[in-house]
Chains A and B, each alone.
Chain A
Amino acid sequence: QVQLVQSGAELKKPGASVKVSCEPFGYTFTAYYIHWVRQAPGQGLEWMGLINPNDGGTNYAQKFQGRVTITGDTSNNTAYMELTSLRSDDTAIYYCVREGTGAFDYWGQGTLVTVSS
């Protein structure tokens, strides 16, 4: 059974950084791209970027270029998303998502990141 298990909720101050982890189970880590999608309170879905765990190749949304880094560690089959220079409008649920058959087929449970002074 495919599952993506994410790290727990985070509370950060403006200007800080956050790093969220995502550990997939039930399939070969390097066989599928992993994406990061966020959802601000009461808002829609926003794509942040992706990683190909097989070779570490990444692609980021223009909006987040320079502030987001997505990495993958094949030694522990875990993907990470780090977002820097946090602002209050970065408060959101952050999801890791597997891309299978050209669509987002499995989602993590989400990690709430709250940015507040």
Chain B
Amino acid sequence: QAGLTQPPSVSKGLRQTATLTCTGNSNNVGKQGAAWLQQHQGHPPKLLSYRNNNRPSGISERLSASRSGNTASLTITGLQPEDEAEYYCSAWDRGLSAWVFGGGTKLTVL
């Protein structure tokens, strides 16, 4: 099944800002928006944002999500070492009647 497209890797310096992107189509991101997940090595994913820019309780205000057309974005400001992780986007695809994921972006904090 077709998934969402994410860049494989992004590298930024400490305290800088990183913007991660997730591109889908009008049946998924463009229609339903996207959710973002963070996964540290050896741990299950954790929900960071849902319905484009809602953060679960306990998620840092340094994270914000947005959507423009068929592309969703996650912006992390003031990068910290603990932000180094794999980031996935997900969305419901109404055409496939299935959930789809991006391939993940490895964020490296230099």
Q: Which residues of A contact B (CB under 8 A)?
A: 35, 44-47, 50, 59, 61-63, 95, 101-110
Q: If A44-B88, A61-B98 touch, does A103 touch B35 (CB 8 Å cutoff)?
A: yes
The CA of A46 and the CA of B88, in the complex, are separated in Å by 11
What residues on A are CB-neighbors of B51 within 8 Å?
101-103
Mask: chain B, 89-110; 1 = CB below 8 Å from A; 0 = not: 0101000111111111000000
* A interface: dominant SS: strand
B50 touching A105, Cβ below 8 Å: yes
What residues of chain B lie closer than 8 Å to A47, measured between beta carbons?
90, 98-101
**Known A44-B88, A44-B101, A103-B47: A61·B37 in contact at CB below 8 Å:** no
Q: Which of B35, B97, B104 contacts A104 (CB 8 A)?
A: B35
B90/A104 in contact, CB under 8 A: yes
The answer, among A45, A102, A108, A109, for a CB contact under 8 Å with B104, is: A45
Count of chain B residues near A, Cβ 8 A: 24
Q: Hey, which chain A residues are within 8 Å of B37, CB to CB? A: 45, 104
A45 touches B54 (CB 8 A): no
| Mask of B52-76 contacts with A, CB within 8 angstroms, 1/0 | 0010100000000000000000000
In the complex, which of the residues B44, B92, B97, B100 contacts A102, with contact meaning CB atoms closer than 8 Å? B92
Q: Which residues of B contact A62 (CB under 8 A)?
A: 1, 96, 98
Residues of the A chain whose Cβ atoms lie less than 8 Å from the Cβ of B46: 107
Known A-B contacts A44-B101, A44-B102, A44-B103; A109 and B54 likewise in contact (beta carbons under 8 Å): no
26 interchain pairs, CB-CB under 8 A: A44-B102, A44-B103, A44-B104, A45-B90, A45-B104, A46-B101, A47-B98, A47-B99, A47-B101, A50-B99, A59-B97, A59-B98, A61-B1, A101-B54, A102-B35, A102-B51, A103-B35, A103-B51, A104-B35, A104-B45, A105-B50, A107-B44, A107-B46, A108-B44, A109-B44, A110-B44
